[in-house]
Chains A and B, each alone.
Chain A
Amino acid sequence: MDEIKKEIMKLEKSAEKLKKLAKDNNAIRKNAEIILTFLYILKFITPTVNKEA
């Protein structure tokens, strides 16, 4: 699971960068935002189990 979580974080950074780079291109920016939506879900379904909440 740790490796999966690392990959999700990498994807998030990359999608954020893509969104910034495409600030003048609606189509690319929107698709980057959609990737970020699914990254929100991916993070939600791979929660980190802390000892203390």
Chain B
Amino acid sequence: MEFWNPYTETLPREKLENIEFSYFKNLLSYAKANSQLYKDKLKGINIKDIKAFADIKKIPFTYKEELRKWQEDVEPFPYGGLLGIDIANVSSFRQTSGTTGKPVYVPESYESWQWRIESWCHILYMAGFRPRHRVFLPFGYNVYVAFWEAHYAAEKLGCEVVPGGALDTKGRVNKIIELKANAMCGTPTYLLNIAQEAVSMGIDPKSLGIERALGAGEPLPEATRKRIEATYNCKMFDHIGSTETCGFAGMCEAQQGLHIVEPFFLVELLDKDTLSKEVAEGELGVIVITPLGRRSFPVIRFNTNDVAIKGPSTCECGRTSLKLMEIVGRVDDISKIRGVLFSPKTVEQLIRSEFPEIVEYELVVTREDIMDKITLRMEADAKLGKDKAAEIAKRLGERHKIKTNLSCKVVVEPSGALPRYDLKAKRFKDMRGKH
């Protein structure tokens, strides 16, 4: 088995934790001296009191709302109190997507950017990207970070990168064929859209020659991952990250969970209710993360609000980093409908694993009087007739009830009626307001 950095990727756990603790303390001192946010946040804390790994819990969490607050009307514009370096040393601007509110502006220095890229190299290398790959990135990257990271990290690995912005989906299919691209990074949704477009052009996606692909920007349930593999006859890998934290975990060839890129990141998985203790292997925890070497934008114990199942620190690949076995979703995504806990990911899993004829769907939750209603809008493959689509809708309604304990109304939409997404898909729409 090959590693990007055999030294750090196979260190015994105890040594890794020792290094991460040392990096954590350095970052605390640095942030307290250089970031307005942490000057304020850590003012009652003597860093000398952080003597052992367990003392990390004495440091307060950082929340996304705080990041927003420290950018509003705080100089220097536009980064405010989050900046950890002289603004003259900022070399690139990025921002969060704004899915959950006002976007956060993220400053990168040349050093911090290269640090991010190095971390991403681990993710791509784990996913088997090598110099033989011509990597097609089917997006205009704009101010969003993930595909810039993928681009520069693939370049650093020695791959050949093809930026696929400013083309429509058909143009991208043609570009893949023209250049014989053999690897891709994309949102799972869009990788499926590209395949669907190829089919509508009379091209079998398997014939495109894509050997491997890496998902970004959206959760990748196992059923969707396998569907993409079957569609392209490729190997599909997952990773997780965010603009605030960088890409911090990726899937290796064993395809069993995501390895945290250590010692770049200190990742804690904390009990969802108390946020005070580390969960055990196999349990569900909230991901709290500290990027340990990024000085332009220090973020300490960032509560991501993402929930994952903690995995082991052993893997057949030989890496010793901790693993996240499954990203369950965001704490906010798990809502109560008619008193039943509901995760949209369950429906994604159901559709991708059992209904290959469904090409797009959308879940809408509304409230009529006091009753919550779920409407599942679906589009079936255009080649199927009305009767067949109605039959699929009936079966989907039944399976939805079994999988979620909630009944729903399934509506068959005409081909092309539902929105298609390049970046983060928004298939779950909760229209109930505050509940």
Would you call B335 an interface residue if the criterion is a C-beta within 8 Å of the partner chain's C-beta atoms?
A: no
The complex places the Cα of A51 from the Cα of B19 at a distance, in Å, of: 10
Asked whether, in the complex, the Cβ of A37 is within 8 Å of the Cβ of B114, the reply is yes
Interface string of A24-39 (1 = CB under 8 A from B): 0000000001100110
Question: How many contacting A-B pairs (Cβ < 8 A)?
Answer: 41
The complex places the Cα of A51 from the Cα of B293 at a distance, in Å, of: 21
Nearest B residue to A1 via CB reads: B7
Report the contact-size class of chain A (Cβ under 8 Å from the partner): 10 to 19
Interface string of A9-53 (1 = CB under 8 A from B): 000000000000000000000000110011011001111011101
| Residue of A37, A44, A50 with highest tally of chain B CB at under 10 A | A44
B100: chain A residues at CB < 8 Å are none
- Residues facing A in B12-58 (CB within 8 A) are 15, 18-19, 21-23, 25, 53
Query: Interface size on B (CB < 8 Å)?
Result: 20
A52 to chain B, nearest CB (A): 8
Asked whether, in the complex, the Cβ of B7 is within 8 Å of the Cβ of A44, the reply is no
B93: chain A residues at CB < 8 Å are none
Asked whether, in the complex, the Cβ of A37 is within 8 Å of the Cβ of B22, the reply is no
Contact of A49 among B15, B110, B115, B293 (CB under 8 A): B15
Would you call B271 an interface residue if the criterion is a C-beta within 8 Å of the partner chain's C-beta atoms?
A: no
A53: chain B residues at CB < 8 Å are 18-19, 21-22, 25, 53
Asked whether, in the complex, the Cβ of A45 is within 8 Å of the Cβ of B114, the reply is no
Nearest A residue to B19 via CB reads: A47
Nearest 8 CB-CB pairings of A with B: A53-B22, A53-B21, A47-B19, A37-B111, A49-B15, A44-B293, A41-B118, A53-B18
